[in-house]
A and B are shown apart, each in its own frame.
Chain A
Amino acid sequence: MRPFIKAENVVHEYSRRDEEGNVTDINRALDGVDIEVTAGDFVAVLGANGSGKSTFAKHLNALLVPTEGTLYVDGKDTSDHNNDLKIRQTAGMVFQNPDNQIISNIVEEDVGFGPENIGVPTEEIWRRVEESLKNVEMYEYRKQSPNHLSGGQKQRVAIAGIMAMKPNCIILDEPTAMLDPEGRKSVIKTVRELNKKENITIILITHYMEEVTAADYVYVMGSGQIKMRGTPRQIFARSEELTKYKLTIPEVTKIALELIKKGIQIPKDILYVEELTNALLKLKMHQ
């Protein structure tokens, strides 16, 4: 099967210029990134501030294009501007700050903005608005002003706005950074469901470790490169390496590792509270 996203040695340089337009400073934000994402996958990208993960995200719907290397989204080269519109329809993007991406006074109009701009017929727009608002469980708020929604609800409206354009893939760049625990949970739940039920490819960029446990595959970025790749269990079993990239492991994994250090025999790739407590209770029973 053809990969949905294929990055080959992608390099991106931000250059700063003086008044005459001469380059004075070059910052290599991406330094040879290779990634392949299969359609329908839930992929998480972890990385410290400044590791290049947002720059990479912006490449996925051609907001930025590689300085070197190539990136294909759904088989289309993002460097070719003729592909821009198609790529942006197939790969939608949700940003960190919900307040920066909502533009209408009424929720349903905001969701309809995307499909309207790509020339979807009116009845079809309304059908899609209804469907996508139901998908993110925001249908009952459709006539309200987005101003009165919580952060998590606003992010779900933003996701519905992307869904209404019928993308194959949604890229979320730290969608929960500004939300409270409840809002975070609701956004992550929505994203998971879209992945499972609608088979939407998800690229989730975050530095909350608890959010990536459900991903099929995790990439860890550092200094513009992919430093680690694997399933969440494989990644979190390598805690020392993660610390090197200014990341950490979930608290419960940390507890498990501390116990192993003390000679307790439990698996070292524990990700959930129940998993740890079950393993411990079993151990106690056999004593």
Chain B
Amino acid sequence: MYKILTLFFILITTANAEISLNENPNSGNFIYEQDTKALVTEVQVVFQSGSIDDPKGKEGLSSIAFESLLRGTKKNSKKDFFSKLETLGGSTSVDVSSNRAIISLSVLSDNLKPALELLSEAILSPSLKKEDINGLIQERIGSLNQELANNRSILKRAVRFSLYEGTSLETPPSGTLKSVPNIKVEDIKNFLDAHRKSENVIFAIATNHSKNDVKKVIEEVFGDFPEGKSPAHPKIDLPKITGRNLVVVEREGSSTTEMTISHMGILANDPIRDEIELGLFVFGEDMSSRLFQELRAKKGWTYGAYATQRLIEIPRSHSGIFSIYAFPQSEHTKDTVLRSIELYNEYVSKGLTAKELSFAKKSNGNAYPFKFASSSARLTSRLYQRLDGAPFLPTKEYRASLKKMNLKSIHKAIKKMHDNKNYIITLVGDPKQIEPLKKEIPELNSVRKIEDIMNP
């Protein structure tokens, strides 16, 4: 009789548990890292949905939808929810990008279970009250207006729009002043119904608790997760850039000019990824790089000068954006842009020198252990691997792959990805400094002025 009863309870438990955690690095839904000394546990509930899924005219929907989960539950008002969670020493935030939404919880490790229970309540039983949603939309409109006080935010919007115009990647996840007011409570409910699915979620956690304990708690508190898959992301046809094009956002009175030279980047799982990263390290990702040494250390025109694929968030599963980025003092705008173009031409046509290659190999090989240096660093790398397919190699394997690279293979990769003929130069700054530059950029194909960055 005892055995029958036990089996009955197991069956009941199994029938209710919609979340079963597994750690497959490429398809799993559980990423765990232990730090026995951590007094704070970091939890990330990751949805593989983001602004790429926003409908036209309602840009910002995914971001507001996920944020609305933290505005009170069916059991607890917004005030009570935050009071309970924060009294446990917990803090939550939402970060939505193009192809993922991360709801983060940091909490005193001793209070992990009750905090996870509250988080689960928020995700699975949100109140979605009209007044709370309207408040959230007003908050968003406020923060979008504040973006207009920041030339760097304006630059990022302008670059994104210029490169991805006409696609759902043209707008940042936060939406625009035109699209956000169009979002209604029903849109949010529909979005959450479609995307809050058990096969769309990944739990990533760095903690001092044991893996088994954590697994057990997550499976228990998130047991009612709706089953199923979310809709596939819409297909994006990447726009083609022809020639050198200048995009300008005039900001009278600016003391510095924000500048990029950008074109499409490379997929995270592209086989030439490591060669490209090594090349970028030499060209502009380090204080010893060509751009930094020339434009900052030697000339003193700009406080910083970089070349990177990380300036603007575009999922590496959708090419990303490569940018040369600097923010010269206004009066050095022309010099900085023209010299950056020259340096880029030289980089694409000649690649690296033997000395640079040797330096970059040593530097990258030596720095690689930092990817494993803390539980949160390991967690980030593993999550990136899971979401975008970027391989997270053990140190030995990475160093072996570095060894195989040579000047020829790197130059071949540079020529394949980089394009010094077709790109967009974006400038945000004082028009008096930008105007004279228009005649000096060689082979300029077009000039475009964006009047209203929120509705370009």
Query: Are A and B subunits of one complex?
Result: no
Q: Which residues of B contact A (CB under 8 A)?
A: none
Q: Which residues of A contact B (CB under 8 A)?
A: none
